[in-house]
Amino acid sequence: MAKTYAEINDKIKKGTAVVLTAEEVSELAKTLSPKEIAEKVDVVTTATFGAMCSSGAFLNFGHANPPIRMEKIELNGIRVSGGLAAVDTYVGATDCNPENPAYGGAHVIEDLVAGKEIALEAWGKGTDCYPCKHIKTRITKDSINEAILYNPRNAYQNYNVATNSTDKIKYTYMGTLLPKLRNASYSTAGELSPLLNDPECRTIGLGTRIFLCGTEGYVTWNGTQFHSTKEVNEYGIPTSNARTIAVIGDLKNMSTDFLRGVYYEKYGVSLFVGIGIPIPILDEDLARRVSIRNEQIETTVVDYGDGNKILGKTNYAALQSGEIEVNGHKIRTTPVASLAKARQIADILKSWIQKGDFLLSEPVRPMPTGTALKQLKIES
Protein backbone atom coordinates (compact mmCIF):
# COMPACT_ATOMS: atom_id res chain seq x y z
CA MET A 1 0.00 0.00 0.00
CA ALA A 2 1.68 3.21 -1.20
CA LYS A 3 1.44 6.49 0.72
CA THR A 4 1.77 10.06 -0.50
CA TYR A 5 3.55 13.08 0.96
CA ALA A 6 0.16 14.73 1.44
CA GLU A 7 -1.16 11.79 3.43
CA ILE A 8 1.93 11.68 5.64
CA ASN A 9 1.87 15.45 6.20
CA ASP A 10 -1.79 15.24 7.15
CA LYS A 11 -0.90 12.69 9.82
CA ILE A 12 1.94 14.94 11.04
CA LYS A 13 -0.51 17.85 11.38
CA LYS A 14 -2.92 15.65 13.33
CA GLY A 15 -0.16 14.29 15.56
CA THR A 16 -0.75 10.69 14.48
CA ALA A 17 2.34 10.10 12.33
CA VAL A 18 4.63 7.27 13.46
CA VAL A 19 8.20 8.57 13.39
CA LEU A 20 11.31 6.52 14.12
CA THR A 21 15.02 7.18 13.81
CA ALA A 22 16.99 5.10 11.33
CA GLU A 23 18.57 3.15 14.18
CA GLU A 24 15.16 2.41 15.66
CA VAL A 25 13.76 1.15 12.38
CA SER A 26 16.86 -0.98 11.78
CA GLU A 27 16.20 -2.66 15.12
CA LEU A 28 12.50 -3.05 14.28
CA ALA A 29 13.46 -4.73 11.01
CA LYS A 30 14.86 -7.67 12.97
CA THR A 31 11.28 -8.72 13.76
CA LEU A 32 9.13 -7.06 11.06
CA SER A 33 9.18 -7.36 7.27
CA PRO A 34 9.53 -4.32 4.98
CA LYS A 35 5.82 -4.65 4.18
CA GLU A 36 4.90 -4.51 7.86
CA ILE A 37 7.22 -1.56 8.47
CA ALA A 38 5.69 0.31 5.52
CA GLU A 39 2.26 -0.19 7.07
CA LYS A 40 3.28 0.92 10.56
CA VAL A 41 5.91 3.66 10.06
CA ASP A 42 5.42 7.00 8.30
CA VAL A 43 8.76 8.79 8.61
CA VAL A 44 12.32 7.76 9.42
CA THR A 45 14.82 10.41 10.55
CA THR A 46 18.45 10.16 9.46
CA ALA A 47 21.42 12.28 10.46
CA THR A 48 25.15 12.92 10.24
CA PHE A 49 27.63 15.27 11.90
CA GLY A 50 31.08 15.45 10.41
CA ALA A 51 33.71 17.53 8.65
CA MET A 52 32.41 18.91 5.36
CA CYS A 53 35.12 21.03 3.73
CA SER A 54 32.95 22.11 0.80
CA SER A 55 30.91 24.50 2.94
CA GLY A 56 30.67 28.24 3.43
CA ALA A 57 28.49 31.29 3.92
CA PHE A 58 27.29 34.22 1.82
CA LEU A 59 27.29 37.50 3.76
CA ASN A 60 25.93 40.94 2.90
CA PHE A 61 27.45 43.63 5.12
CA GLY A 62 25.30 46.59 4.10
CA HIS A 63 26.60 49.82 2.57
CA ALA A 64 28.71 52.39 4.39
CA ASN A 65 28.55 56.13 3.82
CA PRO A 66 30.53 56.95 1.72
CA PRO A 67 30.15 53.55 0.04
CA ILE A 68 32.91 51.17 -0.91
CA ARG A 69 33.17 48.47 -3.53
CA MET A 70 34.96 45.77 -1.54
CA GLU A 71 37.57 44.07 -3.74
CA LYS A 72 39.82 42.70 -1.01
CA ILE A 73 38.11 41.57 2.20
CA GLU A 74 39.39 40.16 5.47
CA LEU A 75 37.35 38.80 8.39
CA ASN A 76 39.33 38.33 11.59
CA GLY A 77 42.42 38.44 9.39
CA ILE A 78 41.13 35.73 7.03
CA ARG A 79 41.07 36.66 3.34
CA VAL A 80 37.63 35.92 1.87
CA SER A 81 36.07 36.39 -1.55
CA GLY A 82 35.96 39.88 -3.01
CA GLY A 83 34.61 38.69 -6.31
CA LEU A 84 30.91 39.39 -5.76
CA ALA A 85 28.96 42.66 -5.60
CA ALA A 86 30.13 45.68 -3.62
CA VAL A 87 29.38 44.46 -0.08
CA ASP A 88 28.80 40.73 -0.59
CA THR A 89 31.26 37.97 0.18
CA TYR A 90 31.49 34.20 0.38
CA VAL A 91 33.37 32.82 3.35
CA GLY A 92 34.74 29.40 2.44
CA ALA A 93 35.16 26.97 5.30
CA THR A 94 38.79 26.31 4.34
CA ASP A 95 39.80 29.96 3.82
CA CYS A 96 42.79 30.65 6.03
CA ASN A 97 45.70 32.90 6.88
CA PRO A 98 48.89 30.87 6.30
CA GLU A 99 50.49 32.68 9.26
CA ASN A 100 47.76 31.33 11.55
CA PRO A 101 46.66 28.05 9.94
CA ALA A 102 44.65 26.81 12.93
CA TYR A 103 41.98 29.53 12.46
CA GLY A 104 40.06 29.87 9.23
CA GLY A 105 36.80 30.54 7.48
CA ALA A 106 35.03 27.75 9.36
CA HIS A 107 35.89 29.45 12.65
CA VAL A 108 34.69 32.83 11.35
CA ILE A 109 31.36 31.18 10.48
CA GLU A 110 31.15 29.53 13.91
CA ASP A 111 31.99 32.82 15.65
CA LEU A 112 29.26 34.59 13.68
CA VAL A 113 26.72 31.95 14.72
CA ALA A 114 27.88 32.31 18.33
CA GLY A 115 27.08 36.04 18.20
CA LYS A 116 30.69 37.17 18.47
CA GLU A 117 32.05 40.36 16.93
CA ILE A 118 34.09 39.85 13.77
CA ALA A 119 36.74 42.31 12.60
CA LEU A 120 36.01 43.43 9.01
CA GLU A 121 38.61 45.19 6.92
CA ALA A 122 38.15 45.85 3.21
CA TRP A 123 39.85 47.68 0.38
CA GLY A 124 38.68 48.94 -3.02
CA LYS A 125 40.23 50.96 -5.84
CA GLY A 126 37.61 53.69 -5.51
CA THR A 127 35.13 54.62 -8.24
CA ASP A 128 32.75 57.51 -8.88
CA CYS A 129 29.88 55.53 -7.36
CA TYR A 130 31.98 53.83 -4.67
CA PRO A 131 34.53 56.49 -3.65
CA CYS A 132 35.68 54.93 -0.37
CA LYS A 133 38.93 52.94 -0.70
CA HIS A 134 39.32 51.43 2.78
CA ILE A 135 37.08 50.51 5.68
CA LYS A 136 37.72 48.96 9.08
CA THR A 137 34.90 48.03 11.41
CA ARG A 138 33.32 45.20 13.39
CA ILE A 139 30.24 43.16 12.53
CA THR A 140 27.95 40.59 14.12
CA LYS A 141 25.27 38.39 12.64
CA ASP A 142 22.71 40.94 13.85
CA SER A 143 24.43 43.94 12.26
CA ILE A 144 24.60 42.56 8.72
CA ASN A 145 21.75 42.09 6.28
CA GLU A 146 22.04 38.42 5.36
CA ALA A 147 24.10 35.44 6.49
CA ILE A 148 23.27 32.38 4.40
CA LEU A 149 25.00 29.04 4.82
CA TYR A 150 25.42 27.51 1.37
CA ASN A 151 27.37 24.27 1.13
CA PRO A 152 28.10 22.90 -2.38
CA ARG A 153 28.99 19.38 -1.23
CA ASN A 154 27.75 17.81 2.01
CA ALA A 155 26.58 14.50 3.48
CA TYR A 156 28.66 12.13 1.38
CA GLN A 157 26.94 8.83 0.64
CA ASN A 158 29.54 6.56 2.19
CA TYR A 159 33.23 7.36 2.37
CA ASN A 160 36.49 5.47 2.19
CA VAL A 161 38.31 4.28 5.31
CA ALA A 162 41.77 5.85 5.53
CA THR A 163 44.89 4.08 6.76
CA ASN A 164 48.65 4.30 6.20
CA SER A 165 51.10 1.48 5.52
CA THR A 166 54.25 3.61 5.26
CA ASP A 167 56.92 4.28 7.88
CA LYS A 168 55.90 7.93 8.28
CA ILE A 169 52.93 9.68 9.87
CA LYS A 170 50.52 11.12 7.29
CA TYR A 171 48.53 14.27 8.11
CA THR A 172 45.25 14.26 6.19
CA TYR A 173 41.67 15.51 6.13
CA MET A 174 40.83 12.11 7.65
CA GLY A 175 43.00 12.97 10.64
CA THR A 176 46.49 11.84 11.58
CA LEU A 177 47.29 8.42 10.14
CA LEU A 178 49.93 6.54 12.09
CA PRO A 179 52.61 4.42 10.36
CA LYS A 180 52.42 0.69 9.68
CA LEU A 181 48.60 0.42 9.71
CA ARG A 182 48.43 1.39 13.38
CA ASN A 183 45.08 3.18 12.93
CA ALA A 184 42.29 3.71 10.43
CA SER A 185 39.83 6.60 10.36
CA TYR A 186 36.32 6.61 8.95
CA SER A 187 33.48 9.05 8.41
CA THR A 188 29.65 8.96 8.20
CA ALA A 189 27.22 7.64 10.79
CA GLY A 190 26.60 4.21 9.28
CA GLU A 191 22.97 3.14 9.42
CA LEU A 192 21.97 6.67 10.55
CA SER A 193 23.57 8.38 7.56
CA PRO A 194 21.00 10.12 5.29
CA LEU A 195 22.04 9.03 1.79
CA LEU A 196 22.65 5.45 2.91
CA ASN A 197 18.98 5.19 3.89
CA ASP A 198 17.77 6.39 0.51
CA PRO A 199 20.65 5.26 -1.71
CA GLU A 200 18.93 6.10 -5.01
CA CYS A 201 17.65 9.46 -3.68
CA ARG A 202 14.02 8.66 -4.32
CA THR A 203 12.92 11.16 -1.65
CA ILE A 204 15.95 13.48 -1.56
CA GLY A 205 16.13 16.13 -4.27
CA LEU A 206 15.80 19.81 -5.01
CA GLY A 207 13.54 21.35 -2.35
CA THR A 208 13.79 18.62 0.29
CA ARG A 209 13.35 20.23 3.72
CA ILE A 210 16.07 19.20 6.18
CA PHE A 211 17.56 19.87 9.60
CA LEU A 212 20.65 22.03 9.03
CA CYS A 213 22.88 23.03 11.93
CA GLY A 214 19.99 23.45 14.36
CA THR A 215 17.43 25.08 12.08
CA GLU A 216 15.41 24.36 8.96
CA GLY A 217 17.29 24.13 5.69
CA TYR A 218 16.83 22.79 2.18
CA VAL A 219 18.56 20.65 -0.41
CA THR A 220 19.25 22.98 -3.34
CA TRP A 221 20.87 20.67 -5.91
CA ASN A 222 22.93 17.55 -6.22
CA GLY A 223 26.25 18.21 -4.52
CA THR A 224 29.50 18.54 -6.43
CA GLN A 225 31.32 15.28 -7.20
CA PHE A 226 27.93 13.55 -7.36
CA HIS A 227 28.69 10.01 -8.50
CA SER A 228 25.66 7.80 -9.09
CA THR A 229 27.34 4.87 -10.85
CA LYS A 230 29.67 3.57 -8.16
CA GLU A 231 29.82 -0.15 -7.44
CA VAL A 232 27.10 -1.28 -5.02
CA ASN A 233 26.92 -4.32 -2.75
CA GLU A 234 24.09 -6.86 -2.57
CA TYR A 235 22.02 -4.42 -0.50
CA GLY A 236 22.26 -1.64 -3.10
CA ILE A 237 24.74 0.42 -1.07
CA PRO A 238 27.69 2.10 -2.86
CA THR A 239 30.90 0.79 -1.35
CA SER A 240 32.87 4.05 -1.63
CA ASN A 241 32.36 7.82 -2.08
CA ALA A 242 29.22 8.33 -4.15
CA ARG A 243 26.32 10.83 -4.06
CA THR A 244 26.34 14.21 -2.26
CA ILE A 245 23.93 17.09 -1.68
CA ALA A 246 24.14 20.88 -1.80
CA VAL A 247 22.30 22.58 1.07
CA ILE A 248 21.20 26.04 2.19
CA GLY A 249 19.90 27.63 5.39
CA ASP A 250 19.74 30.84 7.44
CA LEU A 251 23.02 31.08 9.33
CA LYS A 252 21.51 33.54 11.81
CA ASN A 253 19.20 30.83 13.17
CA MET A 254 21.84 28.11 13.48
CA SER A 255 23.50 26.74 16.61
CA THR A 256 27.14 26.08 17.39
CA ASP A 257 25.96 22.78 18.86
CA PHE A 258 25.70 21.60 15.26
CA LEU A 259 28.22 23.80 13.41
CA ARG A 260 31.86 23.84 14.50
CA GLY A 261 35.13 24.97 12.99
CA VAL A 262 37.96 22.45 13.32
CA TYR A 263 41.66 22.24 12.51
CA TYR A 264 43.42 19.08 11.36
CA GLU A 265 47.11 19.15 12.22
CA LYS A 266 49.31 19.99 9.22
CA TYR A 267 46.31 19.73 6.91
CA GLY A 268 44.07 22.70 7.57
CA VAL A 269 40.63 23.93 8.54
CA SER A 270 37.25 22.34 7.98
CA LEU A 271 33.68 22.80 9.17
CA PHE A 272 31.68 20.20 11.09
CA VAL A 273 28.10 20.36 9.82
CA GLY A 274 25.03 18.71 11.34
CA ILE A 275 22.43 17.48 8.84
CA GLY A 276 19.21 15.56 9.42
CA ILE A 277 16.93 14.33 6.63
CA PRO A 278 13.47 12.80 7.06
CA ILE A 279 12.71 9.85 4.81
CA PRO A 280 8.96 9.37 4.12
CA ILE A 281 8.07 5.69 4.00
CA LEU A 282 6.03 5.83 0.82
CA ASP A 283 6.17 2.12 0.04
CA GLU A 284 7.72 -1.24 0.83
CA ASP A 285 10.88 -0.51 -1.13
CA LEU A 286 11.71 2.53 1.01
CA ALA A 287 10.89 0.53 4.14
CA ARG A 288 13.45 -2.03 3.04
CA ARG A 289 16.02 0.67 2.32
CA VAL A 290 15.76 2.36 5.72
CA SER A 291 16.03 -1.02 7.46
CA ILE A 292 19.69 -1.27 6.46
CA ARG A 293 22.04 -2.25 9.30
CA ASN A 294 25.68 -1.38 9.94
CA GLU A 295 26.89 -4.87 9.10
CA GLN A 296 25.22 -4.55 5.66
CA ILE A 297 26.90 -1.23 4.82
CA GLU A 298 30.31 -1.91 3.31
CA THR A 299 33.02 0.58 2.50
CA THR A 300 36.51 0.53 1.01
CA VAL A 301 39.77 0.62 2.97
CA VAL A 302 42.31 2.87 1.23
CA ASP A 303 46.03 3.30 1.92
CA TYR A 304 46.54 7.09 1.97
CA GLY A 305 50.27 6.55 2.30
CA ASP A 306 50.66 4.44 -0.85
CA GLY A 307 48.91 6.25 -3.68
CA ASN A 308 45.37 5.51 -2.43
CA LYS A 309 45.89 1.80 -2.95
CA ILE A 310 42.76 -0.24 -2.18
CA LEU A 311 43.43 -2.70 0.64
CA GLY A 312 40.01 -4.30 0.93
CA LYS A 313 36.49 -3.86 2.24
CA THR A 314 34.95 -3.63 5.71
CA ASN A 315 31.57 -2.65 7.21
CA TYR A 316 30.32 -0.14 9.74
CA ALA A 317 29.59 -2.71 12.44
CA ALA A 318 33.29 -3.58 12.43
CA LEU A 319 34.36 0.05 12.18
CA GLN A 320 32.20 1.07 15.13
CA SER A 321 33.50 -1.86 17.20
CA GLY A 322 36.89 -0.14 17.32
CA GLU A 323 38.86 -2.64 15.24
CA ILE A 324 38.88 -4.00 11.70
CA GLU A 325 40.94 -6.72 10.08
CA VAL A 326 42.45 -6.11 6.64
CA ASN A 327 44.68 -8.66 4.92
CA GLY A 328 45.50 -10.27 8.23
CA HIS A 329 46.24 -6.96 9.98
CA LYS A 330 44.12 -5.87 12.95
CA ILE A 331 43.75 -2.11 12.77
CA ARG A 332 42.37 0.19 15.47
CA THR A 333 39.59 2.46 14.14
CA THR A 334 38.69 6.03 15.02
CA PRO A 335 35.74 8.07 13.70
CA VAL A 336 36.12 11.55 12.24
CA ALA A 337 32.37 12.06 12.53
CA SER A 338 30.32 12.10 15.73
CA LEU A 339 27.78 9.31 16.06
CA ALA A 340 26.54 10.82 19.34
CA LYS A 341 25.75 14.12 17.60
CA ALA A 342 24.11 12.31 14.70
CA ARG A 343 21.85 10.49 17.16
CA GLN A 344 20.99 13.79 18.82
CA ILE A 345 20.08 15.36 15.47
CA ALA A 346 17.92 12.38 14.46
CA ASP A 347 16.09 12.63 17.80
CA ILE A 348 15.55 16.39 17.50
CA LEU A 349 14.20 16.06 13.97
CA LYS A 350 11.95 13.22 15.14
CA SER A 351 10.55 15.46 17.90
CA TRP A 352 9.95 18.37 15.49
CA ILE A 353 7.90 16.09 13.24
CA GLN A 354 6.00 14.50 16.11
CA LYS A 355 5.03 17.96 17.41
CA GLY A 356 3.85 19.03 13.94
CA ASP A 357 6.56 21.68 13.64
CA PHE A 358 8.23 20.15 10.60
CA LEU A 359 6.38 18.99 7.48
CA LEU A 360 7.93 16.99 4.66
CA SER A 361 8.53 18.57 1.25
CA GLU A 362 8.40 16.59 -1.96
CA PRO A 363 11.38 17.26 -4.26
CA VAL A 364 10.61 19.44 -7.27
CA ARG A 365 13.51 17.89 -9.19
CA PRO A 366 15.02 14.44 -8.69
CA MET A 367 18.72 13.82 -8.41
CA PRO A 368 20.54 12.99 -11.65
CA THR A 369 21.36 9.45 -12.69
CA GLY A 370 24.17 7.97 -14.76
CA THR A 371 26.77 10.42 -13.46
CA ALA A 372 30.50 9.80 -12.98
CA LEU A 373 33.52 11.97 -12.17
CA LYS A 374 36.02 13.52 -14.53
CA GLN A 375 39.72 13.71 -13.71
CA LEU A 376 41.70 16.93 -13.93
CA LYS A 377 44.43 16.76 -16.57
CA ILE A 378 47.85 18.04 -15.53
CA GLU A 379 49.60 19.90 -18.35
CA SER A 380 52.74 20.98 -16.52
For the CA atoms of the chain, what is the radius of gyration?
22
CB 324 within 8 A of CB 313: no
Instruction: DSSP for 309-332, please give it.
Output: EEEEEEEHHHHHHTEEEETTEEEE
CB 42 within 8 A of CB 3: yes
Q: Which residues of 5-15 are buried (b: 16+ CB within 10 A; e: fewer)?
A: eeebbebbeee
91-98's contacts with Cβ under 8 Å and 24+ in sequence apart are 91/56, 91/57, 91/59, 92/55, 92/56, 93/52, 93/53, 93/54, 93/55, 93/56, 93/261, 93/269, 93/270, 93/271, 94/53, 94/268, 94/269, 94/270, 95/56, 95/269, 96/268, 96/269
Cis omega before residue 335 (within 30°)?
Answer: no
Q: Give the three-state DSSP class for 2.
A: coil
Q: Report the SS3 class of residue 106.
A: helix
From the CB of residue 288, how many other CB atoms can be counted at a distance below 10 Å?
17
The one catalytic residue among 129, 132, 201, 213: 129
Known catalytic residue at 129: yes
List residues with catalytic annotation: 129
